[in-house]
Structure 1
């Protein structure tokens, strides 16, 4: 699976994420957030070696229950999950290496 490019306006239920099997990255942010836009090339670069990881981008904001359930305070926040359990979290990642390191905790990198 490839990285999602747009933030979904409608969020899944928390129970859906908590019962998801396999590797999953939930990204919270908005299209207008400068930090979110700056992180996109880094996220894309890191995901190149992790094509099997499901990536969900959720538009977040005040009063949005999913972001609050994950205690998101700054954007972008990436939550790395494996079999419904949070394994790692990055807030405003600054380089692709730290994203790759977190991805490696939930997925084997592709050979190449």
Structure 2
């Protein structure tokens, strides 16, 4: 699976996300957010080493339930899931190393 470059306007339900099998990165943000834009380079570099991780990019904002269910307050917020269970979280990451480290917690070699 490759890194998503487009925010999904329609978010999945929390139940759908909780039911996902395998390693998943859920990214909350907005396309106009400067912090979100700045994080894309480091995120792409880190994701390149973890192609099997599912990447769900969710446009967050007022009235968006999924972000509230994860208590997202700042963008981007990256939530690293293993089998639907949160393992790690990064808020406003600015370097690929911290993202790689979190990815390694959910993407273990076979």
Provide the TM-score with structure 1 as the length reference: 0.95
How many Å apart are 1:108 and its aligned residue? 2.9
Provide the TM-score with structure 2 as the length reference: 0.97
Unaligned runs of 5+ in 2: none
| Pair 1:97 & 2:94 matched | no
Question: How many positions carry a matched residue from both structures?
Answer: 109
User: What does 1:1-112 align with in structure 2 at a 5 Å threshold?
Assistant: 1-108=1-108
Unaligned runs of 5+ in 1: none
- Deviations along 1:50-96, one digit per CA (max 9) or x if unpaired, are 00000000000011000000000000000000001000000000100
User: Could you tell me how far apart the structure 1 residues matched to 2:70 and 2:103 are?
Assistant: 18
- CA RMSD, Structure 1 to Structure 2 (Å): 0.8
Helix, strand or coil for the counterpart of 2:24? strand
Moved >4 Å (runs of 4+): none
- Deviations along 1:23-73, one digit per CA (max 9) or x if unpaired, are 000000000000000000000000011000000000000110000000000
